[in-house]
Amino acid sequence: MDAKRDTVAETRSQAGEELPHVYIDDILSSLKYYVDEDEPHLQIIAGDVCIRCAAKPCLYPCSVGAYQAQDSGVVQIAYHSCVECGTCRMICPYDNIRWKYPRGGYGVAYKFG
Ligand code: SF4
Ligand code: SF4
């Protein structure tokens, strides 16, 4: 993938085109969130299961760092910042994450262009 990106960049560079630099923080800061305070779309089902889960794979893939572990081993999800990529719905070996899309009118709003 990086090699392909390099090839595209090289081709464009030879054609005199500059690829724009893209920073994830800039993209994230352009998003709007309509947070549903009454009905979180992501939840840990059983906190005690997380305490016994040593590896905690849910802490690693989220691009916005929504999953945080407390010293007690309990995991909390900052669902307010979720960009709805769906990665974490597949990562838990104990099926301990309740995941659904936010209700209509809530969730992240992307701006393209
Ligand atoms: S992977 Fe699942 S059980 Fe383990 S800490 Fe994360 S949510 Fe809890
Ligand atoms: S759906 Fe994606 S952005 Fe949202 S909490 Fe899960 S991994 Fe993070």
Looking up residue 37, the CATH number of its domain turns out to be 3.30.70.20
What pLDDT digit, counting tens, does each position of 2-14 carry? 556 666 666 666 7
Burial class (CB in 10 A: 0-12, 13-18, 19+), 104: exposed
* Residue ID of nearest Cα to ligand 1 atom 2: 92
CB atoms within 10 A of CB 53: 17
Is 6 inside any structural domain?
A: no
Pocket lining: 83 vs ligand 2, CB cutoff 6 Å: yes
Q: Residue 97: CB within 6 Å of ligand 2?
A: no
Number of domains in the chain: 1
For 29, half-sphere exposure in the C-beta direction (CA atoms, 13 angstrom radius) is 5
Indicate whether 10 belongs to any domain: no
Mean of per-residue pLDDT scores for the chain: 89
- Cα of 100 vs centre of ligand 2, distance in Å, is 11
pLDDT over 60 (residue 60): yes
- What is the band of 22 on the pLDDT scale with cuts at 50, 70, 90? confident
Domain with 28, as residue range(s), is 20-108
